Chain A
Amino acid sequence: MRSGIFRCWYMQDSQAVKYRVKFSKKGALRYISHLDVMRYFQKVIRRAEIPVKYSEGFSPHQLLSFAYPLSLGYTSDGEYLDMVMTERVNEEEALRRLNECSESGIKILAVKELDEKARNCMACVFAASYNITIREKITLPDDFCKKVIDFFGQETIPVNKPKKKNGGSVLIDLKQYLYDFRMIDDRTFYICVNSGSETNIRPDFVAGSVCEYCNVVPNENPFYIHRVEIYENISDNENVELRALI
């Protein structure tokens, strides 16, 4: 029962093609949880009548995978998901259809066919970059900018990173997981940090460490965080060479 218009942009030759979709999440929709975003996309894809592949069985589900959950309240210009389609599609057309069926708070930025052997986006995630803003309600010292620059400029940046489970913390050198930093304005700085499954440096943790260093007390809901991009590491040696997922 798929519409005829859509048929014409299928190319008939191949089966099960992988695509990567990049999207942004902004405005009011930043209050939607990761789980809700996943359910949201299932519906967008249905409305757009994209030929996504389904699992077998009584309650078939779409073969989708999301790169890296975004915390509720963050905005982003660099979210990713992979989907398997039953046939090859025109990327431009798919992009247009998806946007037509999405609320403007979640905008599809790119659709790209993947190589058959490409790792899925979740496995690719190596680093992510963020703009972190300290909210106006928090009073900052006059030399805040300078101090932030000092903090990130240290030879080593010793910080106590909370452990995932059973509380406690472990002392790490943040510097080793920091790939980029710059000041954006008086209250906002940009960082690019490791987001691999083992280390995973959370941006709010970095912001908290900055505040501690600058003697700023972060009370409730102190930061506004915007994810800029997600990267994979394409270096084939010990070095790190970052490339955006699309």
Chain B
Amino acid sequence: MNDNLALSDDILMSVEKPARYIGNEVNAVYKDPDKVDIRFVMCFPDVYEIGMSHLGIQILYDMFNKFEDTWCERVYSPWPDLDAIMRKEKLPLFALESQQPIKDFDFLGITLQYEMCYTNILQILDLAGIPLYSSERTWDDPIVFGGGPCSYNPEPVAEFFDIFYIGEGETRYREFLDLYKKLKGTGISRNDFLIEASKIPGMYVPSLYEIKYNDDFTIRSIEPMHPSVPRKITKEVVKDLNDTFFPTAPVVPYLKSYSDRINLEIQRGCIRGCRFCQAGQVYRPVRERSIDFLLDTAVSSLKNTGFDEITLSSLSSSDYSKLDELIEGLIKYCDENNINISLPSLRIDAFSLDIMSKIQDVKKSSLTFAPEAGSQRLRDIINKNLTVQNILNGCEQAFIGGWNKVKLYFMLGLPFENDEDINGIANLANDIAALYYETVPKEKRMGRAQITVSTSFFVPKPFTPFQWASQDRKEDFIDKAYRTRKAISGVLNQKSIKYNWHETDTSVLEGVFARGDRRLSKVILNAYKKGCIFDAWSEYYKNDLWLEAFEECGISMDHYTTRERPDDEIFPWDMLDCGVSKEFLLREWHKAKEGVPSPNCKEKCNGCGAASFGVGICRTHKQ
């Protein structure tokens, strides 16, 4: 317990949800600062309730605090109300546990979960009193780390970070901390220390690479500026997911977080290889955790936290090889202890419906399908292995079982999309509704079928086969959303269908950053100075300021978004290697153009390159 809070009572009483800033949660780790060598603070650059829902930080928090010489704390973005007060009163940003200024820490680790958090990174650095540019920092400042999915192309924010850790955090931090302990205080310059750090696998030190551009601002070359700095940084992979760090006593927030439950990661990676999906490529190869590990972890973490819900997380739960056994074990424990189980990302079939009927209230729950595209042609292009027949079969069984709510997720703006694909969305929703009325006799119906169609706009991501593709313009997005709405309102069962779509402005900006380069740091800084923060929150997103920022820096957004890249273009992230080779991705891009799907890793190995890690599913193929 630490009652010495950094913020005064007057401040805490004037901001929304002061519990965001007081720490002291159950299972938060407190250490004696005099008895540790290293002070680390982990940051999720968004509001507390979102950051606290993130499993990755929980894993690293647990790992760092298991190191006796290290105390790892947490910090999240102060909400705009507190942000204004901290600036006015010149209060330094502090870590939740010790309530001490993070400027005095050895390390600040920031996870990059989505592109729209980039200005929040600057907010964190700024409020902490840490120079925004890596080049301006001294040994008086913490070393600023980046990690998480967006670090697979960290270039737009590269100049704000000292090091990016590429890949899974469990493997190399110990080695790094030892190097730090050995060298810090020996008189070594900060820059020389970073050169040493860059020799540890997975450590990308952006300031050690020189980027040269062509006249059209495409990249001519990426060169390490020091002979001992590696030309390519290969992502780090955990070899055995049953023998690694995983929290059994995660921190329990007082505030209701977005994921108010135990999050149990059953496997990492995905066999599917959908061509739009970055996670499906960069987390390869698929590695499963064992039933024993999962059941033990589930029971101990439920006991240690008191949560009344557990969710199984993975990119595609149905692909976990012993799912039935796992769920059977969980249901037994959870039933006895009044604990709910939630199973997102399940494929709907007889097996999953049977499970769902055991763990949920059928009347309230809904079926979720993510066909992503409205026609089989386009689903083959994106390599989404889900047919209309699969969906209708699943729905039919579900309707018989008592369900009447169906959620459908699609993307608009996929490469090679045409009118038929948009009509296909409306027709599929209509067919599902019609099937409900055919399948369920009037007297048994629980009201109308409730079909919800949601569309998001496709943003091409690095390390996917679509990294070469052009992204739609804002006008195309809006037009497609209107056409989808119109198509839906034209079908017979339109009254049973509800349509939602996501914003367009942020999709464009997300697209710029996703495939952006280093020239964008100045735009991000400019936008931040104009007052952009919490861009992921529509009520704070200021599109006009962003447009101004681009204009003033003389940088065109279209260069990053609408341009289809030639096959041999050098990408800003080409110094990184996620295991999946560029040749494989290019092959997939060409297959997409021809409309040819690829088998998944279980059916057949496609030789993506990830076998070089020698783990998970790739080993099964070798044997």
Contact = CB atoms under 8 A, between A and B. Distances in A.
Interface in B210-229: none
Contacts of B12: 31, 73
Contacts of A42: 306, 308
Given A36-B255, A47-B304, A103-B24, A221 B19 contact: no
Contacts of B18: 31, 72-73
Contacts of B26: 43, 47, 103
B337 A31 contact: no
A44 B306 contact: yes
Interface in A30-84: 31-33, 35-36, 39-40, 42-47, 49, 54, 57-60, 72-73
A91 B58 CA distance: 36
Interface in B19-43: 19, 22-26
A32 B14 contact: no
Nearest to B303: A47
B19 A36 contact: yes
B306 A43 contact: yes
Nearest to A35: B256
A221 B10 contact: yes
Nearest to A219: B10
B13 A103 contact: no
Contacts of A72: 13, 18
Given A31-B12, A72-B18, A47 B305 contact: yes
Contacts of B293: none
A115 B5 CA distance: 42
B252 A43 contact: yes
A101 B299 contact: no
Given A46-B306, A105-B24, A28 B361 contact: no
B254 interface: yes
Given A40-B254, A43-B26, A103-B1, A32 B19 contact: yes
B336 interface: yes
A104 interface: yes
Given A1-B333, A220-B14, A47 B24 contact: no
A158 interface: no
Contacts of A27: 1, 3, 24
A42 B10 CA distance: 30
A178 interface: no
A29 interface: yes
B5 A28 contact: yes
A59 B14 CA distance: 36
A1 B24 CA distance: 29
Nearest to A36: B254
Interface string B245-270: 00000001011100010000000000
B254 A221 contact: no
A59 B19 CA distance: 27
A28 B8 CA distance: 11
Contact of A31 (B19, B256, B304, B360): B19
Given A27-B1, A73-B9, A59 B340 contact: yes
Given A1-B337, A45-B306, A104-B1, A221 B13 contact: yes
A101 B25 CA distance: 12
A28 B306 contact: no
Contacts of B254: 29, 32, 36, 39-40
Interface string A1-43: 1000000000000000000000000011101110110011011
B306 A220 contact: no
B255 A28 contact: no
Interface residues of B, number: 38
Interface in B335-364: 336-338, 340, 360-361, 364
A50 B303 CA distance: 12
B49 to A, nearest CB: 11
Interface in A215-229: 220-221, 224
A44 B307 CA distance: 9
B2 interface: yes
Contact of A28 (B3, B10, B17): B3
Given A1-B336, A105-B3, A47 B306 contact: yes
A162 to B, nearest CB: 20
Nearest to B28: A103
A57 B25 CA distance: 30
A46 B10 CA distance: 34
A31 B3 CA distance: 11
A137 B18 CA distance: 21
Contacts of A54: 338
A58 B360 contact: yes
A220 B1 contact: no
A101 B252 CA distance: 12
A32 B1 CA distance: 14
Name which of B13, B255, B308, B337 has the most chain A CB atoms within 10 A of its CB. B308
Nearest to B3: A27
Given A28-B3, A40-B254, A104-B1, A33 B19 contact: yes
Nearest to B11: A221
B12 to A, nearest CB: 5
Contacts of B3: 27-28, 105
Nearest to A39: B256
Contacts of A57: 361
Interface string A195-225: 0000000000000000000000000110010
Contacts of B260: 39
A11 to B, nearest CB: 21
A221 B9 contact: yes
Nearest to B12: A31
B361 A59 contact: yes
Contacts of B19: 31-33, 36
Nearest to B1: A104
Nearest to A101: B306
Contacts of B338: 54, 60
B256 A220 contact: no
A73 B19 CA distance: 10
A61 B306 CA distance: 13
Contacts of A220: 10, 13-14
A95 B338 CA distance: 22
Nearest to B332: A1
A58 B1 CA distance: 36
B340 A28 contact: no
A122 B89 CA distance: 42
A35 to B, nearest CB: 8
Nearest to B25: A103
A60 B2 CA distance: 34
Nearest to A3: B303
Contacts of B336: 1
Given A28-B2, A42-B308, A58-B360, A73 B303 contact: no
B391 to A, nearest CB: 26
Contacts of B333: 1
Contacts of A46: 302-303, 306-308, 337
21 contacts: A1-B337, A28-B5, A28-B23, A28-B24, A29-B254, A31-B22, A36-B254, A43-B306, A44-B306, A46-B303, A54-B338, A58-B360, A58-B364, A59-B340, A101-B306, A103-B1, A103-B24, A137-B10, A220-B14, A221-B9, A221-B14
Interface of A: 1, 27-29, 31-33, 35-36, 39-40, 42-47, 49, 54, 57-60, 72-73, 101, 103-105, 137, 220-221, 224
Given A35-B256, A46-B307, A73-B13, 16 more contacts: A27-B24, A28-B3, A28-B22, A31-B22, A36-B19, A39-B256, A39-B260, A43-B252, A46-B303, A46-B337, A47-B306, A59-B361, A72-B13, A103-B26, A105-B24, A221-B10
Closest 10 CB pairs of A and B: A43-B306, A46-B306, A58-B361, A27-B3, A31-B18, A47-B306, A28-B22, A36-B254, A221-B13, A104-B1
